[in-house]
Amino acid sequence: MSIVPIVISINNSYVIPAITTMRSVLDSVSYRDRIKFVIFHKELEQQAMDLMTAMVSRSGGEVSFLNMKHAFSGVLDDDVKQIEMYYSLLIPQYMKNYEFVFSLDADMLVSGDILSLIPQMPANKKIGAVRCAFRNTLLPPDVRSPLQDETIKVGIQDTRNYFNAGLMLFNMKEIDYEDSVNCIRFILRDWPGHGESILNHVFHDSTYFFSFRWNFPMTFIPDKVMNFHPDIQHDIVAGRRDPKVQHFLFISKPWHENHQGLLDINKGSPGSRLTDYLEEYRKAIFAVMKEAAQLMPRLICGPAWDDMEKLVTSREPSSH
C-alpha cells in the first residue's frame, strides 16, 4: 500500500494543538503504517520539533518537517502575518510524488478513519473537501454577508460550493503543473481568505464534497445557531449527531477570547453536546501538555536529567 502524507502547517504557537490532532488521527486510522505526518513550517524551534517527533513516535506515528521559509520568495514578504495559512498552496508542488495527500488544520480532533475518504474520491476530481458552513447559512433577504462578496470576488458565483480548507484530500494523479503554478500565481491577487480562497479558485471545477461530518465546525454544534440552505440542512444535522472530524475554529477554540459567547448560545440548545465535545478536547490537550512537561527536560538535558533526578530523589537534601 502506498504512503499517504498528512500535511499540517503550523507555527510555534500551535505545537501542542498539532500534537493533539496527530494523536487523534493515529488513534482512529485503520492503518498507521499507511500514513505519515509532514509539518510545513517557517523556522520552528528545534526543541518543538524534537518534542513533536517524540510524542508522535510514542503513539506509533512518524513525522517529518519541511521548512518553507523561502518557498514564497518574491511572492510574499517574509514578515507576512499567518504565513502558515498559505502553506497548503505548496502541496501540489512539494508533494507531487504521492498519489494522495491530506491537509489538516491543527485545531481538530479526529475520531473517524480518514483513509476511508480515499475510496470515496472520484478518480477525475482533483481535490476533496467539505463545504464552508459559514457560507451556507440562510440570511434575511435584505442582509448580505461579507463572505458572499469575498467568495464572488474569488470567482465562485455559487457560495454554497466554497469549501473550508480544514480538511482537504489532494488527488495528486489529477493535479498538473499548471495547477501548482496557479496556486502560487494567484497569491498576487491579495484575496481575502489566505490560501483557502486561492485553492477554491484553482480547483472549484474539480472539487468533490465530503459530508459535513468530516470537517464539522464546532461553532455550529448548538442547533439554535443558524439555519442552513435546504440542500445541505440534512447533512448538517447528520454531521452534528456524529462528527468524524471536530473542527474547533473561531470561537469554538477554548482559548478564544469570545469563547464564552458560544457557551451562552449553547445554553439555549438543550440537546447540544458542545460541552461534552469541549471537555473531550480540553482533556486531550491537557494530556499532551502534561506529557510534554515530562518529556521536555529529558529532550533538553538528555540522560543527565534522569541521573540528576535519581540523585535528588534518592535522599532528603541536606539542611546545610
Residue pLDDT, tens place only, 207-253: 999 999 999 998 887 766 578 888 888 898 899 899 999 999 888 88
Residue-level pLDDT at 86: 93
Q: Which of 75-79, 169-173, 240-244, 264-268 has the highest mean pLDDT?
A: 169-173
Average pLDDT, the chain: 89
Residue 271: pLDDT band (50, 70, 90) is: low
- Measured CA to CA, the distance from residue 247 to residue 167 in angstroms comes to 9
- Measured CA to CA, the distance from residue 87 to residue 81 in angstroms comes to 12
Residue with the bigger pLDDT between 298 and 212: it is 212
Report the top-level CATH class of 4-314.
alpha beta
3-state secondary structure of 4: strand
* Cβ-count burial 189-210 (b if 16+ within 10 Å, e if not): eebebbbbbbbbbbbbeebbbb
- Measured CA to CA, the distance from residue 71 to residue 184 in angstroms comes to 10
Residue 275: pLDDT band (50, 70, 90) is: confident
H helix and E strand count, the chain: 10, 10
In the predicted structure, residue 101 carries a pLDDT above the cut 70: yes
**245-247 sheet: strands from edge to edge:** 108-110, 245-247, 216-217
In the predicted structure, residue 320 carries a pLDDT above the cut 60: no
Please report, for residues 109, 217, 268, 285, 294, the alpha-carbon distance to residue 272 in angstroms, rounded to integers and kept in the order given.
18, 14, 9, 22, 36
Residue pLDDT, tens place only, 16-30: 999 999 999 999 999
DSSP 76: S
Q: With contact defined as beta carbons under 8 Å apart, do 54 and 35 qualify?
A: no
Q: What residue segments make up the domains of the chain, in order of their start?
A: 4-314
Short-list 51, 185, 25, CA closest to 105: 25
- Measured CA to CA, the distance from residue 84 to residue 65 in angstroms comes to 13
Residue 103: pLDDT band (50, 70, 90) is: very high
Residue with the bigger pLDDT between 316 and 311: it is 311
3-state secondary structure of 266: helix
Residue-level pLDDT at 253: 83
